[in-house]
């Protein structure tokens, strides 16, 4: 009820303040979002858990990701700032209202566990933990924690949660930054970090974050 009223106020304010012909977007509604997400579940799964595919294309977990981060990624796919042949047609199907709605929907789903850390050796996980929490100053690698927060739970809409994300997906993204195939954050922060990482480092940090579980109240 109060959400409806707020939504209505948003519409009025939006209509009053907008100078262009941009349609006002109401705050995200998880129920509408679930309906708009009907096509997404083929890959991202009904519980938003996605899937770890070690030698293929992994589908990222969307459950429990920050809503603002999800919105940004969908706009980036639409604008071609982030490229992926499987994902782009689905981003293009959504209007601005559906983007905030699906973001509201997936962000309130419970964070699921991730694949990709199960078979990692103790040594690999130790290296992963070092990169995540302390970085590697000899190689000018800042700790992941300094942006992605303690435990990799994410900080606001700019720094996504990466703990309990699929290892093969994390590693694909780091390689994409390293090879200049993903560069959709304003200062290409991730690009400069990934370029300093060896393939072994990428494997290690991906396995470590994949094996971290996040409690329900943990992520923003
Ligand atoms: C055919 C499979 C497929 C379908 C269907 C699909 N996606 Fe995706 N999605 C992907 C893949 C693959 C990626 C990872 C792309 C990459 O590697 O850059 C992705 C990435 C994303 C991301 C970025 C996540 C992150 O952590 O950065 C979001 C958000 C997303 N999808 C939302 C959606 C929504 C919403 C729908 C439905 C409207 C949808 N997807 C449908 C395959 C799919
Ligand atoms: C200086 C800040 C900063 C540091 C340090 C940093 N990141 Fe990031 N990271 C970002 C930003 C910003 C984004 C979001 C990019 C975007 O908007 O698409 C991001 C996104 C990511 C993503 C994509 C998540 C998804 O769902 O698609 C992964 C994976 C990731 N970082 C891994 C790491 C790892 C591993 C480390 C440590 C080796 C690290 N990051 C260190 C700023 C940082």
Pocket test for ligand 2, best of 58, 165, 190, 202 (most atoms within 8 A of CB): 190
Gap from CA of 148 to ligand 2 centroid (Å)? 7
Fold matches, 2-36+65-107 and 122-210: yes
| pLDDT tens-digit readout, 89-105 | 999 999 999 999 999 99
Going by alpha carbons, the residue nearest to atom 36 of ligand 1 is 40
Report whether 201 contacts 141 (CB < 8 A): yes
The CATH fold assigned to 2-36+65-107 is Cytochrome Bc1 Complex; Chain D, domain 2 (1.10.760)
Torsion of CA 63, 213, 87, 105, to 10 degrees: 10
Angle at which helices 96-107 and 67-79 pack, to 10 degrees? 140
For residue 202 and ligand 1, the question of a CB distance below 6 A is answered with: no
d(CA 204, CA 150): 18
Map out the domains of the chain as residue ranges: 2-36+65-107, 122-210
Q: Ligand 1: which atom is nearest the Cα of residue 41?
A: 5
Which regions of the chain are under pLDDT 50? 1-2, 5, 7-21, 218-220
pTM for this predicted structure: 0.91
Counting ligand 1 atoms within 8 A of each CB, the residue from 39, 90, 157 with the most, and so the one to mutate, is: 90
Task: For 32, list phi and psi in degrees, rounded to 5.
Answer: -65, -35
* CATH architecture for segment(s) 122-210: Orthogonal Bundle (1.10)
């Amino acid at each position: 009820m109060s959400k409806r009223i707020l939504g209505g106020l948003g519409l009025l304010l939006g209509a009053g303040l907008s100078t262009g012909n941009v349609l006002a977007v109401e705050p995200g509604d998880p129920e509408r979002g679930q309906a708009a997400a009907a096509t997404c579940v083929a890959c991202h799964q009904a519980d938003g858990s996605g899937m770890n595919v070690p030698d293929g294309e992994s589908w990222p977990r969307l459950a429990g990701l920050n809503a603002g981060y999800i919105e940004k990624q969908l706009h980036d796919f639409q604008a071609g700032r982030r490229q992926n042949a499987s994902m782009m047609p689905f981003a293009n199907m959504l209007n601005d209202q559906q983007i905030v709605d699906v973001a509201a929907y997936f962000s309130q789903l419970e964070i699921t566990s991730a694949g990709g850390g199960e078979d990692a050796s103790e040594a690999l996980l130790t290296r992963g933990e070092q990169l995540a929490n302390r970085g590697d100053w000899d190689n000018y690698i800042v700790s992941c924690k300094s942006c992605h927060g303690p435990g990799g739970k994410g900080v606001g809409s700019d720094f996504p949660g990466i703990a309990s994300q699929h290892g093969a997906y994390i590693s694909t993204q780091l390689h994409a930054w390293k090879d200049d195939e993903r560069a959709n954050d304003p200062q290409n922060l991730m690009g400069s970090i990934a370029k300093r990482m060896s393939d072994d480092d990428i494997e290690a940090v991906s396995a470590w974050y994949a094996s971290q579980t996040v409690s329900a109240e943990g992520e923003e």
